[in-house]
């Protein structure tokens, strides 16, 4: 049995975005219960040279919407990165889930050898579809989701592996 490009992308991305949304909900409840200004958690970092929670979520959603769009040859929606609250981040996640779930298997399957070109940090990068998905898009997406999780866990939010993994 083989796994399709669609199954390896859209459903997995949407599932992890739901987990991230739930984690942010727990973080917001934690801040309220502990009387912590939510801005403290939203601006928290694991290390001074790393991006804060807010940016980790924004970048995770960018990778989530970018992967199926590029594989399907569809224009990516542009998000302005203006979120400043848990509610705004969760609304961004909801928009991203809706976009990711708008793709059909027929739009993404067969993109294994499709040329994917993008600019990252001012550098042009070109991949074949499968390499882009498995070697670039998914690793970057998971990196930013797990970093958001780690920032919150490090700051005392009571979340665990089950919150990150969720239900498949």
**Domain locations in the chain?**
5-165
Give the CATH class of 5-165: mainly alpha
Give the whole-angstrom CA distance, residue 130 versus residue 74: 17
Q: Dihedral of CA 154/27/87/145: which sign?
A: positive
| DSSP character at residue 46 | S
User: pLDDT 10s digit of each residue in the chain, 168 long?
Assistant: 689 999 999 999 999 999 999 999 999 999 999 999 999 999 999 999 999 999 999 999 999 999 999 999 999 999 999 999 999 999 999 999 999 999 999 999 999 999 999 998 899 999 999 999 999 999 999 999 999 999 999 999 999 999 999 876
Give the whole-angstrom CA distance, residue 38 versus residue 28: 7
Cβ count near 69 (within 10 Å): 19
Helices (H), the chain: 5-8, 10-33, 38-42, 53-72, 86-100, 105-108, 129-132, 138-154, 161-165
Give the whole-angstrom CA distance, residue 139 versus residue 132: 10
Q: What is the pTM of this model?
A: 0.96
Cα–chain center distance at 89: 11
Sequence-distant (≥ 6) Cβ neighbours of residue 110 within 8 angstroms: 5
């Amino acid at each position: 049995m083989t796994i399709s490009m669609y199954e390896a992308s859209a459903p997995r991305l949407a599932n992890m975005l739901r987990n991230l949304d739930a984690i942010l909900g727990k973080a917001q409840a934690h801040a309220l219960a502990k009387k912590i200004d939510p801005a403290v958690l939203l601006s928290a970092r694991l290390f001074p040279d790393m991006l804060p929670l807010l940016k980790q979520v924004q970048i995770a959603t960018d990778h989530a919407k970018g992967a199926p769009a590029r594989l399907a040859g569809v224009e990516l929606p542009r998000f302005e990165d203006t979120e400043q609250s848990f509610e705004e981040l969760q609304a961004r996640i909801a928009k991203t889930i809706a976009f990711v779930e708008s793709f059909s298997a027929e739009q993404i399957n067969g993109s294994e050898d499709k040329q994917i070109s993008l600019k990252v940090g001012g550098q042009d990068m070109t991949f074949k579809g499968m390499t882009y998905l498995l070697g670039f898009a998914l690793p970057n997406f998971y990196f930013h989701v797990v970093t958001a999780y780690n920032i919150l866990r490090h700051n005392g939010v009571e979340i665990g592996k089950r919150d990150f993994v969720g239900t498949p």
